[in-house]
A and B are shown apart, each in its own frame.
Chain A
Amino acid sequence: MQRRTVLRAVSAAGVVGTAGCLGLGDSNPHVVLDEPDRDYASDELPYPAWGQRVPDVTLPDPISGDSFSTRSVEMPAVYTFFFSHCDTVCPVLIQSLRNVQTHAIEEEYADAVAFFPVTFDPERDDRERLETYAAEMNVALDAGNWHFLRPESVDRAKATVEEEFGVAFEKTRPEDMDTYMFVHAAMTYLVNADGYVERAYRTDTPDPERLIEDLRVVRNG
């Protein structure tokens, strides 16, 4: 019986509860946060979700010159996906991470979390552009915990951001603009130090307060 069917059956029997606390074997030894309240299992989703391993991806940070492997970070990490010419959703996603970064610095846990905004526009988001963008968005690059990741090519962006992280994007040519843009999904991941997804926030407005609280639990877990 699929989990969904189980839940439906339990629900029909009048049991009050959510998917995360029914005690039907929903716990996961790899994560600290409870299963989110939802009607489906992680393996039914088209992206890595609660309790699953973060995709095994290695990408370069063009500003530091280092490369980062998702499964070797060894501390809680927050990922989001963006392109810097975006004027709709991406600034909100980046700003949410930046607000968490500022909290981390102010509350002195900056060395216990890493931020990885991944661009899917390697053609334009080069080192110089990303440095400028960081300054515009008030990101503290000197804190040492913020790493823009840039796939080496458009194909590599598709192979990692879309295929591995499940964040779809597609180039568009708006009639009123002289440059290309993207339509894209919005996603932010909180991954624990062991490389398991604690939360996949599938929203274009991640709540910094929720992120900060979830991160606190994960850091202390």
Chain B
Amino acid sequence: MNRRHFLTAIGGLGLTGGSVLAVRGDFPNLFGESSSLPVRVETIDAPGSSAGEVTVPNAGSPTLIDLFATWCAPCKEQMDELSSVYEEYGDRVTFVSITNERLGDTLTERDIRGWWRRHHGAWAVGVDPNSDLMAALGAGGIPYHAIADASGTIRWQQAGLSTAETLRTELDRVLEAP
């Protein structure tokens, strides 16, 4: 059996589609490393964000976690959805957007700050170059969203573009939980 025939035989196993969003969702950590929440993430100086560290999820309030990247086209659209939700929930929910892009000559902190400003970010934005947060959430792609309750337990997570309506529904569910 040559390689091509074998591959045809295993067919659907390894093939991935090409017409959905820039995401693959809910994959287990394929390398078997244990990583768990919360994760400390470095934040950068940008509108609504200051240089330092945040703990994700935040303890004491619900947290909306947004995984993004500057090269990700749907992530730009996602910022509009997040911005409108932030206006309504920003006083009760901790918002944090994290990219796993590694900073260097071709992508600097200043570039992230510029992207953030262009897309009207107004909350904490951070970098996770080792993908610790992605691994802890089991996120296989971006955009990716998760909502944690005030105790830090993940109550909802979803791969792909999340509409403002969906985010409102899920945040309400967490905020209204006894």
Contacts and interface: CB of A to CB of B under 8 A. Distances in A.
Interface of A: 37, 46-47, 86-89, 91-92, 95, 98-99, 102-103, 105-106, 136-140, 162-164, 166, 168, 170, 172, 174, 176-177, 181-186, 202-205, 207-210
Nearest to B129: A99
Contacts of B4: 162-163, 168
Given A88-B21, A99-B100, A166-B7, A184 B106 contact: no
Interface stretch (B22-30, B49-57, B77-85, B162-170): B22-30
Interface of B: 2-4, 6-8, 10, 14-24, 27, 29-33, 69-74, 100-107, 111, 129-131, 135, 140-142
Contact of B131 (A87, A202, A209): A209
A105 B24 contact: no
A95 B135 contact: no
Contacts of B15: 168, 170, 183-185
A170 to B, nearest CB: 8
Given A185-B15, A186-B16, A208-B102, A87 B21 contact: yes
A137 to B, nearest CB: 5
Given A176-B19, A183-B15, A138 B101 contact: yes
Given A140-B105, A205-B140, 16 more contacts: A46-B6, A46-B7, A47-B3, A87-B73, A89-B141, A91-B22, A99-B102, A137-B71, A138-B101, A163-B4, A166-B3, A168-B4, A172-B19, A177-B19, A184-B15, A210-B31
30 contacts: A47-B3, A88-B16, A89-B24, A92-B24, A95-B101, A99-B101, A99-B102, A99-B129, A102-B104, A102-B105, A138-B107, A162-B4, A163-B2, A168-B4, A168-B14, A170-B15, A172-B17, A172-B18, A174-B18, A174-B19, A185-B15, A202-B14, A204-B16, A204-B24, A204-B27, A205-B24, A205-B141, A207-B33, A207-B131, A209-B131
User: Which of B21, B106, B111, B140 has most chain A Cβ within 10 Å?
Assistant: B106
A209 B105 CA distance: 19
Contacts of B130: 208-209
Contacts of A106: 102, 104
A204 B14 CA distance: 9
Contact of B18 (A46, A86, A95, A140): A86
B31 to A, nearest CB: 5
- Smallest CB-CB A-B distances: 5 pairs: A181-B18, A102-B104, A174-B19, A46-B6, A185-B14
A205 B30 contact: yes
A105 B105 contact: yes
A181 B71 contact: no
B14 A186 contact: yes
Contacts of B7: 46, 162, 166, 168, 185
Contact of A207 (B30, B104, B105, B142): B30
Contacts of A139: 106
A92 B99 CA distance: 12
A46 B140 CA distance: 24
Contact of A88 (B22, B69, B100, B111): B22
A91 B71 contact: yes
A31 B154 CA distance: 41
A87 B19 CA distance: 7
A204 B106 contact: no
A130 to B, nearest CB: 15
A138 B22 CA distance: 17
